Amino acid sequence: MALRGRKARKINIDVPVDSDLPIRLKSVSEQTKLSYCELLEKWLFTEERENQANEKHREEEFLKWTQQFEARLADIQSQLFALWKKPEEEGGPSEQDYRRVLLQRIRNLRNEGMSFVKISEMFNKEGVPTVSGTGKWYPSSISQFLTTNGTF
pLDDT digits (tens, 9 = 90+) for 64-111: 998 888 888 777 766 666 666 666 666 666 778 778 888 888 888 888
pLDDT above 60: residue 1 = no
Q: Given this model, what pLDDT does residue 92 score?
A: 66
Q: For the chain, give the percent of residues with pLDDT over 90.
A: 14
Task: Indicate whether this model's pTM tops 0.75.
Answer: no
Q: Given this model, what pLDDT does residue 2 score?
A: 45
CA–CA distances in Å: residue 27 to residues 23, 36, 45, 110, 128: 6, 11, 20, 66, 71
Longest dimension (CA), the chain: 87
